[in-house]
């Protein structure tokens, strides 16, 4: 390319990124569920004519690797008849590029002068897609059929005309049909935004320049990714991390990963990981790839423009029939929990590589907690989905961050005001957990405590989490982060453990009026020996309530 062409290509790349962001704004502003318009639990992206990821908005990394699989399967499902202008494909099958059933994907072709030149796709988490438990998280699931409605690639819109019967079939398999319909329409609107904006770019710059710009965006990211990997010493680097259990059997589940660095390529091998589980903690291949891609992007250079070019130097080995690549119909709604552990295991292996960016283990869970019931006034069903933040791990340069979402999630919390306005609940407490950050020269970030009181009705709570039995680990002499914990407070009695068998897994636990559901998320692991921590930092932690006076003396040898 000429210098002028190179500048134009970069302008186009940024324009496509802006389109991806605008898709997210459209989705947020036209939806009705708090998980959409407050929690931002969705992703939006633009793909080239071959279905390769070109740009995406800064939404959920946990979706993006898997979203590429969905575009592939959407195109493959209609290879015979082709995708036509005005078509939109809907799907959520985890084994065809999905993640878990609540995540529904929309894929739309973008046409220019009668030819499909790009694709718009988005994925968003719906509050209920049927299945055994309200909210479609069932810790006792033993196959995918129990987890909700599975949608193989189908045309929700054909030539711009909505398939009303298909839409009715999908929404009436949800406990929240009216809400789901609005949210599905918001996803369609997001893709229409992309179709319009990308069409304007093709009209302005021409098809050849757009294709060139997309190609160069991928090639540039690939070159930079290869350059960073080439700076790492060749070698094999192995580490493991564990899930508490799978919700059916009590034993821990291992994620074992070996990173093989060879020149400018890296192989990520999960051989040795646990076999696929009986319970719903299986992680389908698309989800596993997301966990690998997002972690390696952090470990190399987060300024590299994220797209399919970044993935080219990476080879993933995920044995079929294992927890990281299960065979259908293995249950997989809790696969998002396994992605966190995949990421943590990779970070642990990366800590052995000089020059790699890494950190101690973060909170390590989506902390999925769902409260469901019928409103005392009106009798309508509601589902509250909470996935609160926790502590990040520390690294060699800094303390871990307090009360933030993992890199896998990148979602927002649902504000207290929204919870109390939209649901018959009251948030009694929302605070940082003192002493939950792992001790170290650099302290791990703090988790949070959040309490919900049930008002004037009976309800039920379900939990699919992690890090209750196996806390987040530290590095280089740093301590573990505080483990997660769940409680049920009932007037006149001792705190009840709602998940006595599995710690972080429970399904349909009955709640009475005035019961208080307590959720405590894990803190991040520490980095370095705690006695090396600066005294001024310990004193500041005590002053801010991050570390207790007793812990300052016990862990840091300092009286405050």
Q: What is the pLDDT of residue 321?
A: 98
For residues 261 and 315, what is the distance between their CA atoms, to the nearest angstrom? Answer: 11
Rounded to the nearest 10 degrees, the angle between the axes of helix 177-205 and helix 3-30 is 160
Residue 38 lies in a domain: yes
The C-alpha atoms of residue 144 and residue 279 are separated, in whole angstroms, by 10
Predicted confidence (pLDDT) at residue 1 exceeds the cutoff of 90:
no
Size of the chain, expressed as the number of residues it contains? 560
311-340 per-position pLDDT tens digit: 999 999 999 999 999 999 999 999 999 999
Mean pLDDT of 476-491: 97
**Distance between the two ends of the chain, CA-based, in angstroms?**
64
- Pair (217, 365) in one structural domain: no
CATH number at residue 80: 3.30.450
% of the chain at pLDDT higher than 90: 92
The structure's pTM equals 0.96
| 263 domain residue, yes or no | no
Query: Which residue is it, tokens 């929700």?
Result: 156
Domain end, chosen from 192, 221, 250, is at 221
197-209 tens-digit pLDDT: 999 999 999 999 9
Quickly state the pLDDT bin for 183 (edges 50, 70, 90).
very high
Dihedral sign, CA of 495, 499, 501, 504? negative
Radius of gyration of the chain (CA): 23
Position 166 pLDDT exceeds 90: yes
Alpha-carbon distances of 417 from 356, 406, 430, rounded to whole Å? 41, 23, 12
Q: So what's the pLDDT on residue 254?
A: 98
3-state secondary structure of 232: coil
CA pair distance 408, 118, nearest whole angstrom: 26
The pLDDT score that the predictor gives to residue 39 is 86
| Contact status, residue 193 vs residue 30, Cβ threshold 8 Å | no
Would you say 480 and 242 are in contact if contact means Cβ atoms under 8 Å apart?
no
Tell me the per-residue pLDDT of 263-321, one tens digit each, with 9 for 90 and over.
999 999 999 999 999 999 999 999 999 999 999 999 999 889 999 999 999 999 999 99
Q: State the residue range of the domain holding 193.
A: 3-221
What is the DSSP-derived secondary structure letter of residue 523? P
Structure tokens at 484: 């997660």
Give the pLDDT confidence of 500-556 residue by residue, as tens digits. Answer: 999 999 999 999 999 999 999 999 999 999 999 999 999 999 999 999 999 999 999
Q: CA nearest 146: which of 360, 481, 446, 462?
A: 462
Write the CA distances from 481 to 20, 376, 470, 499, integer angstroms: 36, 40, 10, 21
Going along 199-243, which residue ranges are E strands?
A: 235-243
409, pLDDT greater than 80: no
Residue 53: closest CA among 408, 409, 410, 306: 306
User: Is 145 inside a domain boundary?
Assistant: yes
Nearest of 506, 554, 517, 524 to residue 433 by alpha carbon: 524
Same domain, 217 and 364: no
What's the distance, CA 19 to chain centroid?
A: 22
| Shared-domain flag, residues 34 and 183 | yes
The reported pLDDT for the residue numbered 3 is 79
Beta carbons within 10 angstroms of residue 510's beta carbon: 11
Q: What is the DSSP string of 38-55?
A: TT--EEEEEEETTS-EEE
CA–CA separation, 184 vs 171, rounded Å? 9
Residue 359 has a pLDDT of 96
pLDDT for 62 beyond 90: no
| Domain termination site, one of 221, 255, 278 | 221
| CB-CB neighbours of 234 under 10 Å | 9
Average pLDDT over the chain reads: 96
Helix, strand and coil percent figures for the chain, each rounded to 5: 30, 25, 45
What is the token pair recorded at 415? Answer: 């504000």
Task: Give the residues across from 379 on adjacent strands.
Answer: none
CA–CA distance, 503 with 381 (Å, rounded to integer): 27
**Residue 341 belongs to a domain:** no
- Judge whether 480 and 363 are in contact, CB under 8 Å: no
User: Cβ neighbours of residue 472 under 8 Å, at least 6 residues apart?
Assistant: 344, 360, 361, 362, 363, 364, 391, 393, 438, 444, 480, 481, 522, 523, 524, 525
Q: Which helix (H) or strand (E) holds 31?
A: none
Q: What are the CB-based long-range contacts (under 8 Å, 24+) for 353-357?
A: 353/232, 353/233, 353/235, 353/237, 353/259, 353/261, 354/232, 354/233, 355/231, 355/232, 356/232, 356/299, 356/300, 357/298, 357/299, 357/300, 357/301, 357/302, 357/395
pLDDT at 236 over 90: yes
Residue 421 belongs to a domain: yes
**pLDDT (0 to 100) of residue 65:** 83
- Within-domain flag for 546: yes
- Note the pLDDT of residue 505: 98
Question: Is the predicted pLDDT of residue 410 greater than 80, yes or no?
Answer: no
Residue 480: inside a domain, yes or no? Answer: yes
Residue 151 lies in a domain: yes
- Reported as a single tens digit per residue, the pLDDT across 332-387 is 999 999 999 999 999 999 999 999 999 999 999 999 999 999 999 889 999 999 99
**What total of structural domains would you count in the chain?**
2
Q: Are residues 368 and 515 in the same domain?
A: yes
Q: Do β-strands 235-243 and 161-162 pair in parallel, antiparallel, or remain unpaired?
A: unpaired
Last residue of a domain, one of 173, 195, 221: 221
Structure tokens belonging to residue 248: 């059916």
């Amino acid at each position: 390319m000429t210098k002028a062409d190179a500048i134009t290509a970069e302008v186009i790349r940024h324009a496509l990124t802006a389109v991806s962001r605008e898709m997210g704004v459209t989705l947020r502003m036209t939806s009705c569920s708090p998980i959409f318009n407050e929690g931002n639990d969705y992703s939006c992206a633009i793909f080239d004519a071959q279905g390769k990821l070109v740009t995406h908005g800064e939404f959920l990394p946990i979706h993006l690797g898997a979203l590429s699989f969905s575009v592939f399967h959407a195109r493959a499902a209609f290879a015979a008849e082709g995708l036509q202008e005005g078509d939109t494909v809907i799907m959520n099958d985890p084994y065809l590029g999905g993640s878990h059933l609540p995540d529904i994907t929309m894929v739309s072709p973008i046409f220019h002068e009668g030819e499909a030149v790009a694709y718009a796709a988005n994925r968003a988490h719906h509050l209920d897609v049927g299945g055994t438990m309200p909210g479609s998280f069932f810790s006792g699931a033993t196959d995918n059929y129990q987890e909700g409605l599975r949608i193989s690639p189908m045309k929700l819109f054909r030539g711009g005309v909505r398939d009303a019967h298909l839409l009715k079939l999908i929404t009436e398999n949800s406990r929240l049909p009216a809400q789901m319909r609005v949210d599905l329409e918001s996803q369609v609107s997001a893709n229409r935004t992309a179709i319009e904006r990308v069409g304007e770019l093709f009209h302005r710059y021409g098809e050849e320049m757009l294709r060139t710009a997309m190609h160069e965006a991928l090639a540039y990211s690939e070159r930079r990714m290869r350059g960073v990997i080439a700076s790492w010493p060749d070698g094999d680097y192995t580490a493991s991390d564990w899930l508490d259990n799978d919700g059916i059997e009590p034993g821990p589940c291992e994620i074992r990963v070996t990173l093989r660095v060879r020149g400018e390529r890296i192989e990520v091998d999960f051989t040795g990981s646990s076999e696929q589980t009986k319970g719903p903690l299986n992680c389908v291949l698309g989800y596993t790839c997301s966990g690998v891609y997002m972690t390696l992007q952090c470990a190399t250079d987060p300024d590299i423009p994220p797209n399919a070019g970044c993935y080219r130097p990476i080879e993933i080995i995920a044995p079929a029939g294992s927890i990281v690549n299960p065979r259908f119909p293995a249950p997989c709604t809790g696969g998002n929990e396994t992605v966190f552990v995949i990421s943590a295991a990779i970070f642990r292996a990366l800590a052995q590589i000089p020059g790699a960016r890494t950190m101690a283990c973060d909170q390590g869970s989506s902390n999925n907690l769902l409260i469901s019931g019928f409103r005392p006034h009106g009798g309508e069903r509601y589902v509250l989905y909470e996935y609160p933040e926790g502590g990040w791990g520390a690294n060699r340069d800094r303390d871990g961050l307090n009360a933030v979402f993992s890199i896998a999630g990148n979602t927002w919390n649902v504000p207290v005001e929204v919870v109390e306005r939209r649901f018959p609940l009251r948030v009694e407490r929302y605070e940082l957990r003192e002493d939950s950050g792992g001790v170290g020269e650099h302290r791990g970030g703090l988790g949070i405590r959040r309490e919900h009181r049930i008002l004037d009705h009976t309800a039920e709570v379900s939990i699919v989490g992690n890090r209750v039995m196996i806390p987040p680990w530290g590095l280089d002499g740093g301590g573990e982060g505080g483990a997660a914990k769940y409680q049920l407070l009932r007037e006149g009695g001792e705190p009840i453990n709602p998940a006595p068998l599995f710690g972080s897994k429970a399904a349909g636990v009955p709640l009475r009026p005035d019961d208080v559901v307590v959720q405590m998320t894990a803190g991040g692991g520490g980095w370095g020996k705690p006695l090396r921590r600066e005294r001024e930092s310990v004193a500041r932690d005590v002053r801010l309530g991050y570390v207790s006076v007793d812990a300052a003396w016990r862990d840091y040898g300092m009286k405050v």
